[in-house]
Amino acid sequence: MPITTTRRRLLAGSAAALALPAFARAQGAVKPRLTAISQWSAGSDGAAITALGKKFEEKGGIWQHSPVPGFTTEMMNKLRAQIMAGDPPACSQLKGPEIAAWSKIAPTVDLDAVVAAAGYEKVVAPDLAKLHKPAGKWIALPLQVYSTNMLFLSKRAMDKAKADKIPVTWADFNELAEKMKAGGVASPIANGGTRPDDGQKFEAALAGISPLAYRAAIMNLEKKALAGPEIKAAFAQVRRIADWMDPNVGAQHFSTNLKRFVDGDMGMMIMGGWAQGVLRNAGFKFEDFTIAPGPTDNGKPVFLLNADAFIFWQRKEADLQAGQTLMAQLVMDPAIQTMYSQITGSIPVRTDVDLSGEGWSEGQRTTSAALKSAIASNQALLSMAHNMAQENGMTAAMIDVITEYVKDKTIKPEQAATRLAEAVEGAR
Amino acid sequence: MTNAVSIRPDRPALPEWVRRLPEYLMIWVPLLLSAAHLVSFSLWTIWISFTPSTLVPVSGWVGLRNYSAVAASRNWQIAFDNLLLFGSSFVLLSLVTGLALAILLDQRIRGENVLRSIFLYPLAVSFVVTGTVWSWLLNPGLGIQKLVHDLGWTSFKFDWLIDRDMAIWTIVIAAIWQSSGFAMALFLAGLRSVDADIIKAAQIDGAGPVRIYRRIILPSLWPITITVVVIQLQFAISTFDLVRALTNGGPGIATQLPALVVYDLMFQRSLLGRGAAAAVLMLLILLAVLLPYAAWRYIQRRRAAHA
């Protein structure tokens, strides 16, 4: 494996050199330098990007990363200011359809040659690849992948329900929740009360009921699909989920309730793969919980993609251009992706990385298998709740409806479906 | 030249404007700078609100489209209704609480300084802290309700924080806790400034304490009441951090307020034009409060000059 990696990298390097004479000249003459901004400052995210920076320096580069702690939107405010001042970073964190939106306000780097040299396109989920080449050319590179619809099962809650079968369909899921309730689990669904949290419940329900309807309604915003029966069915499923939640969570973060989840006071959690890292950081053991793909009525895993990425902004300086090429090569490198995902708990973007070795958890292996299966059955979709399916404005308009529905039990599924369609129209 | 001979103590005074130059510099430079900031950015925001700006400001003209989009959105409608409810009840209740505290403190009681500090103390706490602490206190599973349940009253229910219809009142409660001390301080100063001779005269005439308060002291607090109302109202209109920490606009979008909508549109949804339109609408609401106040002040001054 290491030998192939090196050979591939060598190949990538030489092909890039042939294809990009300007870059190649720059690389030969100057020390590559990279200015980068991201929100990753602390915790496993901070550790992972610091490790990436070390690798960059090992290759002879100068690493200048300025983290903007807080929400992604705060990083975006800095990016906006830098772009408007005519001084964008050589590379910045950005993801999903925002890549297309932001690429219209400032020139980006054409990465086609570097990507082709690395043979990267073949090993990336097709819908994910599309996001990173909005006008047909690669301008951004995904770095790591999470699924937003993983199902976490509390071991102790399963014991209380005397159940050992992992639910596959929504019917199984509902049955298990009832069993848990009967077995004395106070709230069969563990959750937080934030906006993305509510959004995730809905997207998991709809994608599980019908991946086709999800693609048409949420990703393509087709009017007919938005008025379809699957949307109503998804809202009905969300209502059942909401009824099993602890009403007292208010606007809390999901991590607040992890102890109750592990203790079996709460039973199941529909959450992104990152929850595994949070559970482990909180000191809980792998035996405390099981991770499975979210319920799907056709029995095959649906994978709701959330992927962090880097976008590359055009710079005239030769050293920055050389730095961009080096960074692009590093981000696509399987060894680097392995290192990164092992720190953060995500899975690599590349579907050809082998996760059977040491350093990977059972949850990561399950997630990776789910992604492969989902790509094969065309069920790898883009997450709405985490801003992958639509731009921020559209996502926020949809989540307004969903979060109100989750918290207001007097709204009927039909009403919610109508409101969702109206919200989409209003935000177009 | 004159300086050379003017060592005498009675040297001629410098021209008036030179003598006052430091004063002018002290006042006018900062005033102009802040006015330029305020006015130019307000004008800039107004301009943006008429453009199709999204991620970054762009030129172009869309007329009132941003305004109609904001006004038609559910978020803004809820925010506006909440503002009316929150603004009026918060101002009224903090006024009543502040006045009651001030009157009680005015009874020449022992430990007044300590009590006054205690009531004023919340004002020194950041709104984010207030919001976070109250979000714990009011959470049914953690705070007051759980405490009363644990004490034995298991039928006790206090779950306003997660009740869509009552959640806005939790913000009122936290805001009053934070700022009624401020109203109290102003009222107390007002109470203390009432002429003691008039009160003594009333006492000699046989007026009881209730009557003295009703007929003499409270009417003289009128100007302070107006000041308190205006200050609290502009606080209510621009409330942001308190809601963000306490409910974050939830449950659902039940406790949205205009300032949250502006932030959300501009920085979460990247719709600069619509966010600017919402900000201008907020400015108009503020003017609706401040202009009558300015007019009232003007009339008062005119009257005082004539008297």
For B75, which of A102, A104, A400 is closest by C-beta distance?
A400
Mutate to test the interface with B, among A75, A77, A80, A401 (most CBs of B within 10 A): A80
- Single out the residue of A131, A123, A138, A238 nearest to residue A191, CA to CA: A238
Residue B270 maps to a domain? yes
Per-residue pLDDT band at B218 (split at 50, 70, 90): confident
A427 contact partners, CB below 8 Å, separation of at least 6: A393, A394, A396, A397, A398
Between CA A139 and CA A314 the distance in angstroms is 10
The pLDDT score that the predictor gives to residue A30 is: 86
* Contact criterion met (CB < 8 Å) for B251 and A193: yes
Structure tokens given for A422: 């109206």
Question: Any long-range contacts for A19-28 (C-beta under 8 Å, 24+ apart)?
Answer: A19/A113, A19/A114, A19/A116, A19/A117, A20/A113, A20/A114, A20/A325, A22/A321, A23/A321, A23/A322, A23/A324, A23/A325, A25/A318, A26/A318, A26/A319, A26/A321, A26/A322, A27/A322, A27/A325, A27/A326
- Mean pLDDT over A183-193 rounds to 92
Q: Which residues of A touch B69 (CB under 8 A)?
A: 426
The verdict on residue B261 lying in a domain is yes
Q: Are B267 and A77 an interchain contact pair (Cβ–Cβ within 8 Å)?
A: yes
Residues 6+ apart with CB under 8 A from A197: A191, A254, A385
Confidence at A73, pLDDT banded by 50, 70, 90: confident
CB contact under 8 A, B252 and A403: yes
Sign of CA dihedral A167, A172, A174, A176: negative
Residue B41 lies in a domain: no
A76 contacts B267? CB cut-off 8 A: yes
Residue of higher predicted confidence among B54 and A334: A334
Closest CA to A13 of A262, A325, A402, A277: A325
Mean pLDDT of A174-178: 96
Bridge partners of residue A126, in order along the sequence: none
**Identity of the residue in B54, B161, B269 whose CB atom sits nearest the CB atom of A396:** B269
Residue type present at position A389: A
User: Which of B141, B252, B271 is nearest residue A408 as measured by Cβ atoms?
Assistant: B252
> Which residues of chain A lie closer than 8 angstroms to B268, CB-CB?
73, 392, 396
Contact state of A73 with B164 under an 8 Å Cβ cutoff: no
Question: What mean pLDDT do residues A369-381 have?
Answer: 93
Q: How far is it, in rounded angstroms, from Cα A268 to Cα A179?
A: 12
- The strand order across the sheet containing A266-271 reads A187-190, A266-271, A150-154, A289-293
Instruction: Tell me if B276 sits within 8 A of B48, measured CB to CB.
Output: yes
Q: In this structure, what are the phi and psi dihedrals at residue A304, rounded to the nearest 5 degrees?
A: -90, 110
Structure-token match 């409060």, residue found: B289
Instruction: DSSP for A202-214, please give it.
Output: HHHHHHHH-HHHH
* Spatial contact of A243 and A148, defined as CB atoms under 8 Å apart: no
CB A119 within 8 A of CB A105: no
Domain membership of residue B26 (yes or no) is: no
From B72, B139, B267, residue closest to A248, measured CB to CB: B139
Question: Is there a domain that residue B30 lies in?
Answer: no
Asked if B49 and B57 count as a contact pair (C-beta separation under 8 A), the reply is no
Distance from C-alpha of A316 to C-alpha of A44, rounded to nearest angstrom: 33
**In the predicted structure, residue A90 carries a pLDDT above the cut 50:** yes
How confident is the model at residue A28, as a pLDDT?
Answer: 54
Contact list, A104 vs chain B (CB under 8 Å): 55
Q: Which residue of B has its CA nearest to A195?
A: B252
Interface contact A76-B270, CB threshold 8 A: yes
Distance from B42 to chain A by nearest Cα, in Å?
19
Which residues does chain A have within 8 Å of residue B75's beta carbon, measured at their own beta carbons? 400
Least CA distance to A392: which residue of chain B?
A: B269
Please provide the DSSP assignment of A295-313 as one string. Answer: P-TTSS--EEEEEEEEEEB
Task: Choose, out of B48, B78, B157, B269, the residue to mutate when testing the contact with A (most A CBs < 10 Å).
Answer: B269
> How high does pLDDT run on average in chain A?
90
Q: Name which of B48, B56, B161, B271 to mutate to probe chain A: the one with the most chain A Cβ atoms within 10 A of its Cβ.
A: B56
Q: From residue A203, how far is each of A390, B224, B233, B245 by CA, in Å?
A: 13, 54, 41, 27
Of A101, A396, A406, which is closest to B264 when you measure between CB atoms?
A: A396
**What tens digit of pLDDT does each residue of B13-35 get?**
788 888 888 888 889 999 999 98
Question: What's the pLDDT at B8?
Answer: 54
Taking contacts as CB-CB distances below 8 angstroms, the residues of chain A near B74 are 400
The span from the CA of B274 to the CA of B65, in Å, is 9
The reported pTM is 0.81
* Residue B178 pLDDT class (50, 70, 90 cuts): very high
Taking contacts as CB-CB distances below 8 angstroms, the residues of chain A near B135 are 250-251
**Three-class DSSP category at A290:** strand
Eight-class DSSP state of A379: -
Q: What are the chain A neighbours of B271 within 8 Å (beta carbons)?
A: 393
Query: What is the secondary structure of A227-248 as a DSSP string?
Result: TSHHHHHHHHHHHHHHHTB-GG
Best CA proximity match to B220, nearest among B193, B240, B197, B182: B193
Least confident of A76-80, A275-279, A375-379, B187-191: A275-279
For the segment A292-314, the average pLDDT, to the nearest whole number, is: 95
Nearest residue on chain B to A84, alpha-carbon basis: B56
Determine the Cα–Cα distance for residues A193 and A253; give it in Å rounded to an integer: 6
Residues listed for chain B: 307
Report the alpha-carbon distance of residue A276 to residue A293 in Å, rounded: 13
Buried b (16+ CB within 10 A) or exposed e, A26-62: bbeeeebbbbbbbbbbeebbbebbeebbebbeeeebe
Cα A170 to its chain centre, rounded Å, is 23
Asked whether residue A22 carries a pLDDT value surpassing 80, the answer given is: no
| Mean pLDDT, chain B, integer | 88
Token digits of residue B79: 């925010």
- Cβ separation A392–B73 shorter than 8 A: no
Specify burial of residue A124 (Cβ count, 10 A radius: 0-12, 13-18, 19+): buried
pLDDT-derived band at A95, boundaries 50, 70, 90: very high
Contact indicator for A224, A187 with CB cutoff of 8 Å: no
DSSP-derived letter for residue A108 is B
* pLDDT value at A339 more than 60: yes
What are A209-262's pLDDT values in tens digits? 999 999 999 999 999 999 999 999 999 999 999 999 998 887 788 888 899 999
CA–CA min distance B163, chain A (Å): 9
**Cα–Cα distance between A169 and A178 in angstroms, integer?**
14
Question: Is B228 among the domain residues?
Answer: yes
Dump pLDDT digits (tens) for A141-155: 999 999 999 999 999
| A404 interaction partners in chain B (CB closer than 8 Å) | 252-254
Nearest CA in chain A to B255: A404
Residues 6+ positions from A164 with CB-CB distance below 8 Å: A158
Confidence of residue B11 (pLDDT cuts 50, 70, 90): low
- Mean pLDDT computed over A365-371: 93
**Calculated CA dihedral for residues B264, B76, A206, A263, nearest 10 degrees:** 70
CA atoms within 13 A on the CB side of A325: 31
Report yes or no: B164 at the A interface, CB cutoff 8 Å: yes
Q: Phi, psi (5° rounding) for residue A272?
A: -70, 160
The confidence band for A8, taking pLDDT boundaries of 50, 70 and 90, is low
* Domains identified in chain B, total number: 1
User: Between A76, A102, A251, which is nearest B247 by CB?
Assistant: A251
Q: Is residue B46 part of a domain?
A: no
Domains in chain A with CATH codes:
2-144+307-354 (3.40.190.10), 150-304+363-427 (3.40.190.10)
What CATH number is associated with residue B245? 1.10.3720.10
3-state secondary structure A162-202: CCCCCCCCHHHHHHHHHHHHHCCCCEEEECCCCHHHHHHHH
The answer to whether the Cβ–Cβ distance between B267 and A73 falls below 8 Å is yes
Strand locations in B58-144, DSSP E? none
Alpha carbons A53 and B300: distance in angstroms, whole number: 67
Interval B68-92: pLDDT, tens: 999 988 899 999 999 999 999 999 9
Closest Cα in chain B, distance from residue A281 (Å): 24
Among A76, A247, A400, whose Cβ lies nearest the Cβ of B74?
A400
> Measured between CB atoms, does B250 come within 8 Å of chain A?
yes
Q: How many CA atoms lie within 13 A of B275 on its CB side?
A: 20
Give yes or no for residue A21 having a pLDDT over 50: no
CB pair distance less than 8 Å for A250 and B135: yes
Torsion of CA A354, A360, A362, A364, to 10 degrees: -70
pLDDT-derived band at A41, boundaries 50, 70, 90: confident
Provide the phi-psi class of A37: left if phi over 0, else alpha when psi is between -120 and 50, else beta: beta
Question: In Å, what is the CA distance from A98 to each residue of A116, A344, A392?
Answer: 23, 23, 8
Confirm whether B66 is domain-assigned. Answer: no
The answer to whether the Cβ–Cβ distance between B253 and A404 falls below 8 Å is yes
CA B62 – CA B273 distance, rounded (Å): 10
Look at strands A140-147 and A289-293 and give their pairing.
unpaired
- Please report the residues numbered 53 through 112 in chain B whose beta carbons come closer than 8 angstroms to any beta carbon of chain A: 54-56, 69, 72-75
Determine, for residues B252 and A391 on separate chains, whether the beta-carbon distance falls below 8 Å.
Answer: no
Report how far apart, in Å, the C-alpha atoms of B253 and of each of A394, B77, B243 are: 16, 11, 12
Of A145, A48, A49, A83, which Cα lies nearest the Cα of A370? A145
**Which residue out of A238, A405, A407, A411 would a mutagenesis test of the B interface target, given it has the greatest number of B Cβ atoms within 10 Å?**
A407
Q: What is the mean pLDDT of residues B122-140?
A: 91
Over residues A112-135, mean pLDDT: 93
Alpha-carbon distance A242 to nearest alpha carbon in chain B (angstroms): 13
Instruction: Mark yes or no for CB contact A193/B250 under 8 Å.
Output: yes
Q: Could you list the residue range(s) of the whole structural domain that residue B178 is in? A: 71-306
Determine the distance from the C-alpha atom of residue A346 to the mean position of all C-alpha atoms in its chain, rounded to a whole number: 9
Place of tokens 């895993």: A301
Question: Lowest mean pLDDT: which of A26-35, A287-296, A356-365, B220-229?
Answer: A26-35
- Residues of A within 8 A of B161 (CB-CB) are 250
pLDDT of residue A301: 94
